[in-house]
Amino acid sequence: MSDSVSDCTEHRSVVTEAEVEALVRGICFKTGPPRFIGVEVEWLVHELRLPRLPVRPERLEAAYAALRTLPLRSALTVEPGGQLELSSLPAASLMECIGSVSADLDAVRAVLREVDLGLTGYGQDPWNPPSRFLHEPRYDAMERYLDRTGPEGRAMMCTSASVQVCLDAGYEEPGPLGHGRRWWMAHQLGAVLLAAFAHSPMARGRHTGWRSTRQSLWAAMDPGRSNAPPLGPEPRGAWARRVLDAPVMCVRAPDGPWDVPEGMSFRAWTRSDNPPDRADLDYHLTTLFPPVRPRGHLELRMIDAQPGDDGWIVPLAVTTALFDDPEAAEIAYRTVKPLAERAGSLPAPRNPLWQDAARYGLTDPELREAAVICFAAAAEALPRLGATTEVLDAVAEYTDRFVARGRCPADDLLVQLQGRSHDRSDGQSRSRLRDQFHDRLDGRFHGQFQGKDIGS
C-alpha cells in the first residue's frame, strides 16, 4: 500500500470540477507501447525466534533506522502497522525488475537478521490483531475515517500485506495491448490472480472462512474508496468520475490533527467556498484503493503477499506475461471473457466473481480452469520475455503444487492450522503455552471482530 503523493498530477492550482476531470483524464492513463514494469512487495516483520510475537515498537524503530542507511534501488517505506514495503523503480524488463528487488531484499534481510528480525509473506497477519506503529496525521485521520464503517479498515492498515504489480497502461489504439482492453482485463483476470495467489485464510489464529481475508477486508470497506469504477469503453472518463465522486478522507492542516469531513465528495469540495488546490487533488488520489488503480500506469492490488523469500516472483512473472506478451494476452482475454457474465454489473471487489475468488480460491471450478489456461499461456510467454530458467522453474513448480490441483497458498496454511489443532489435542506443553499466549491476545483485543463475519 504505497501511498505517498501520487505522480498522476502536476502541481498547479485546481479550483474547478472541470479542471480536475481534465487533469485526471489526461494523466492517470499514460498510453504508449508497454515497456516498463514494477513491483511493490509488502512484508510483515517478525521475531526470528518467535515469529508469532508482535515486534516491540522500539525494536522496529531501531531496525528501520538501520535499513534507511542502505543504498537501495527500491524505495523503502513503512506501513501503519509496521509492515515493510519495497517499491521498485520502473524496469525495462522482467529480469531487471526481479534482479533489482531481489538484491535489495537480500540487503534488507541481512540487516534484520543482525537484530533477530525477519520478513514473512502473509496477505493478512494470521496471529496478531491490528496495532498501529506509525502515529502521523495521515494515519490518525485515516483511522478515524475508516472506523466509521467498521473494524476492517484498521486491519487493512495494520495487518495486511500484498504483492502489487505495476504495468504500463498500454497503447492508445485497440488491440491485445490497448489500454482499454488491459483495463477491462485487469478487472476480470484480477479475480483469477486473486484466487490463484490467495494467502490469508486466518486472523488471530483462526480460520476466517476466506482464502483471502485481506481481500474480504477491502470489499467490506467504504465502497466509494475501494470499489472499481464501472467498466465501459472509456476508462478515462469512468475513473475521472470516480475520483470526483469519491468521499474526501481528510483535509490536511499544517499543524494539529487533520479534519475528517463527513459525506463530502471531492466534487462537492470543488464547488465549495474553499475549493481544493492541486496538491489536494494529488493527495486525494492516494486515498483511493480500488483493486486496479491508474497512476499513469496500472497498479494491480489484488494479490496477497506470498510465502517464501522469493514467492513474490511468481505472481510478478505470471502477471507480466499475461499482460505484456501479445499471444498470452490474447489467450488470457479469451479465457476470462466468460467470467464477465458471472461478475455481473456490480464492481470489483464486491461482485460475485471477486467474492467467490476471495472465499474459495481455486477450489472454484471455473476459476481453476481459467487459472490452468492462463498459467500455461504465461509459461509459454516467459521465455519470449527473457525469463531465466530459475523463474521458469518457479512458475512450473507453483503451477504443479497449486494451480493444477485447484489449490492456493492459503490451503497450505489451513493444513498447518489443522495440524496445530491436533497437537493441542495431544496436550503437549508447547501447545498449551502457545494457546495461553493467544488467549492473552484474545483477552486484550476481545470484540475486535466479534459478531461480524470478516468481509461481510
* Segment 140-198, tens digit of pLDDT: 999 999 999 999 999 999 999 999 999 999 999 999 999 999 999 999 999 999 999 99
Q: Average of pLDDT values for 79-103?
A: 98
At 446, is the pLDDT very low, low, confident or very high (cuts 50, 70, 90)? very low
At 9, is the pLDDT very low, low, confident or very high (cuts 50, 70, 90)? very low
User: Which helix H or strand E contains 39, and what residues bound it?
Assistant: strand 37-47
- Alpha-carbon gap, residue 228 to 108, rounded angstroms: 34
pLDDT given at position 421: 53
Closest Cα to residue 156, out of 55, 42, 12, 30?
42
Q: Is the dihedral of CA 214, 220, 225, 230 positive or negative?
A: positive
- Alpha-carbon gap, residue 325 to 343, rounded angstroms: 25
- Alpha-carbon gap, residue 30 to 22, rounded angstroms: 14
DSSP string across 183-229: HHHHHHHHHHHHHHT--B-EETTEE-S-SBHHHHHHHHS-HHHHPPP
pLDDT, tens digit, for every residue of 429-444? Answer: 444 434 443 444 344 3
Residue 120, by phi and psi: left (phi above 0), alpha (psi -120 to 50) or beta?
beta
| Whether the Cβ atoms of residue 42 and residue 162 lie closer than 8 Å to each other | yes
pLDDT given at position 13: 76
Closest Cα to residue 181, out of 240, 235, 237, 242?
235
Secondary structure letter of residue 337 according to DSSP: T
For the chain, percent of residues with pLDDT exceeding 90: 85
- Alpha-carbon gap, residue 198 to 453, rounded angstroms: 18
Q: Average of pLDDT values for 8-14?
A: 52
For the chain, percent of residues with pLDDT exceeding 70: 89
445 pLDDT higher than 50? no
| Whether the Cβ atoms of residue 404 and residue 372 lie closer than 8 Å to each other | yes
Mean residue pLDDT across the chain: 90
Return the C-alpha cell found at 14. 485546481
pLDDT given at position 429: 42
pLDDT, tens digit, for every residue of 222-249? Answer: 999 999 999 988 999 999 999 999 999 9
Q: Provide the H-helix boundaries in 16-83.
A: 17-27, 57-67
pLDDT given at position 427: 44
Cross-strand partners of 168 = 297
49 pLDDT higher than 50? yes
pLDDT given at position 417: 78
Return the C-alpha cell found at 31. 498510453
- Alpha-carbon gap, residue 351 to 353, rounded angstroms: 6
DSSP string across 228-254: PPPP-S-HHHHHHHHHHHSBP--B--S
Report pTM: 0.90
pLDDT given at position 443: 41
- Alpha-carbon gap, residue 417 to 414, rounded angstroms: 5
At 418, is the pLDDT very low, low, confident or very high (cuts 50, 70, 90)? confident
pLDDT given at position 129: 95
For strands 297-304 and 162-168, give the pairing: antiparallel
At 451, is the pLDDT very low, low, confident or very high (cuts 50, 70, 90)? very low
Lowest-pLDDT range, 97-101, 121-125, 252-256, 355-359? 252-256
Q: Average of pLDDT values for 367-393?
A: 98
pLDDT, tens digit, for every residue of 293-312? Answer: 999 999 999 999 999 999 99
426 pLDDT higher than 70? no
343 pLDDT higher than 90? yes
Half-sphere exposure of 364 (CA within 13 A, CB side): 25
At 420, is the pLDDT very low, low, confident or very high (cuts 50, 70, 90)? low
- Alpha-carbon gap, residue 146 to 375, rounded angstroms: 36
At 14, is the pLDDT very low, low, confident or very high (cuts 50, 70, 90)? low
Residue 53, by phi and psi: left (phi above 0), alpha (psi -120 to 50) or beta?
beta
Q: Is 52 exposed, middle or buried (0-12, 13-18, 19+ CB in 10 A)?
A: middle
Lowest-pLDDT range, 219-233, 245-259, 397-411, 419-433? 419-433
List the helix and strand counts (H, then E) for the chain: 19, 9
User: Which helix H or strand E contains 167, and what residues bound it?
Assistant: strand 162-168
Q: Average of pLDDT values for 208-219?
A: 97
42 pLDDT higher than 70? yes
Closest Cα to residue 412, out of 205, 216, 198?
198
